[in-house]
């Protein structure tokens, strides 16, 4: 069981805390709003009314022993910056912070955030790419210019082995797993002699531009 804290229980923070708790993790949920804390209480290990911009207050919670702390504090920039700074100073190793824009993200990184969350942007990308590129079944942005996604194989891939396709050399794209639908099976790190079928789903990792070249083959 892992241990997490979620600071800020707006829409994003509430659902993040709830999902982590439902996955069997220990979750401390924190907000200054008593009503929000009461709402999350059934879906967390401990729900606390507390001002996380108070360094002494959050220091008493032992957050440095957590596997991760999510900071999601609404539309005001300064509280999230101050909270990330305090978390970094008390020794929290994994800080995930929700950013309102790119400038906010840059500041959060400088004061200690390890990972920046752009929920609205990422969801917009996921929906729009699903609409404009119907062969893309799922999309996860993992870093700037890199994608991890599930995609139906282009017609030219069907009946060929991964060795024949040689995607790593030709496109700098890695097939890290394959979902076989008929019969259902999941192949992690498929061997070079794996022959692609039209019922397979390819899980690709690579630069966005390189993956775009593969999808253009259809």
Q: What are 148-168's pLDDT values in tens digits? A: 778 888 888 999 999 999 998
Final residue belonging to a domain, choices 70, 102, 117? 117
Look at 10 and 208; give whichever has higher pLDDT: 10
Count of beta carbons in the 10 Å neighbourhood of residue 33: 13
* Domain stops at, among 79, 101, 117: 117
Q: At what angle do helices 77-89 and 102-110 cross, to 10 degrees?
A: 20
> Cα dist. 107→80, 93, 98, 179 in Å?
10, 17, 12, 39
As a whole number of angstroms, the distance between CA 214 and CA 218 comes to 8
Residues 74 and 129 in one domain: no
Which of 213, 140, 137, 139 shows the shortest CA–CA distance to 181?
137
Domain that holds residue 157: 121-215
The answer to whether residues 103 and 16 belong to one domain is yes
Task: Looking at the structure, tell me whether residues 81 and 142 fall in a common domain.
Answer: no
Q: Which of 15, 38, 30 lies closest to 62, judged by CA?
A: 30
CATH number (domain holding residue 102):
3.40.50.720
Shared domain for 210 and 129, answered yes or no, is yes
Together in a domain, 126 and 106: no
The answer on 49 and 27 residing in a single domain is: yes
Do 7 and 113 have their domain in common?
Answer: yes
143 has which bridge partners?
146
Same domain, 103 and 186: no
Q: What is the CA radius of gyration of the chain?
A: 21
pLDDT at 210 over 80: yes
Give the mean pLDDT of 179-191: 88
Query: What would the 3-class secondary structure string for the chain be?
Result: CCEEEEECCCHHHHHHHHHHHHCCCEEEEEECCHHHHHHHHHHCCEEEECCCCCHHHHHCCCHHHCCEEEECCCCCHHHHHHHHHHHHHCCCCCEEEECCCHHHHHHHHHCCCCEEECHHHHHHHHHHHHHHCCCEEEEEEEECCEEEEEECCCHHHCCCEHHHHCHHHHHCCEEEEEEEECCEEEEECCCCCCECCCCEEEEEEEEHHHHHHHHCCC
pLDDT digits (tens, 9 = 90+) for 18-53: 999 998 999 999 999 999 999 999 999 999 999 999
CATH number at residue 202: 3.30.70.1450
pLDDT category of residue 128 using cuts at 50, 70 and 90: low
Are 90 and 10 part of one and the same domain? Answer: yes
Q: Is the backbone peptide bond immediately before 55 cis, with ω within 30 degrees of 0?
A: no
Based on the fold, state whether residues 42 and 145 are members of the same structural domain. Answer: no
pLDDT at 63: 95
| Number of domains forming the structure of the chain | 2
Whether residues 173 and 205 share a domain: the answer is yes
pLDDT at residue number 132: 56
Mean pLDDT (the chain) is: 86
* pLDDT tens digits, one per residue of 52-90: 999 999 999 999 999 999 999 877 889 999 999 999 999
pLDDT classification of 144: cutoffs 50, 70, 90:
low
Instruction: Write the CB contacts of 61 (distance below 8 Å, at least 6 apart in sequence).
Output: 5, 28, 30, 48, 50
- Structural domain ending residue among the three candidates 69, 90, 117: 117
* Domain shared by 47 and 104, yes or no: yes
Beta strands 3-7 and 174-181, pairing class: unpaired
């Amino acid at each position: 069981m892992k241990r997490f804290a979620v600071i800020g229980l707006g829409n994003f923070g509430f659902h993040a805390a709830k999902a982590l708790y439902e996955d069997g993790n220990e979750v401390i949920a924190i907000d200054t709003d008593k009503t929000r804390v009461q709402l999350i209480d059934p879906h967390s290990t401990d729900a606390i009314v507390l001002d996380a911009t108070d360094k002494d207050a959050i220091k008493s919670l032992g957050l440095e022993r957590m596997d991760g702390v999510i900071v999601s504090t609404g539309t005001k920039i300064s509280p999230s910056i101050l909270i990330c700074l305090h978390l970094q100073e008390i020794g929290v190793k994994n800080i995930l912070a929700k950013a309102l824009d790119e400038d906010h993200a840059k500041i959060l990184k400088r004061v200690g955030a390890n990972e920046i969350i752009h929920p609205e942007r990422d969801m917009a990308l996921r929906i729009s790419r699903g609409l404009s590129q119907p062969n893309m079944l799922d999309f996860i942005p993992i870093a700037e210019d890199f994608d991890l996604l599930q995609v139906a194989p282009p017609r030219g891939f069907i009946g060929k082995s991964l060795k024949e396709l040689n995607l790593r050399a030709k496109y700098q794209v890695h097939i890290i797993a394959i979902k076989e639908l008929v019969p259902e099976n999941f192949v992690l790190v498929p061997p070079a002699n794996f022959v692609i079928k039209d019922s397979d789903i390819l899980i690709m990792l690579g630069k966005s531009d390189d993956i775009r070249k593969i999808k253009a083959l259809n």
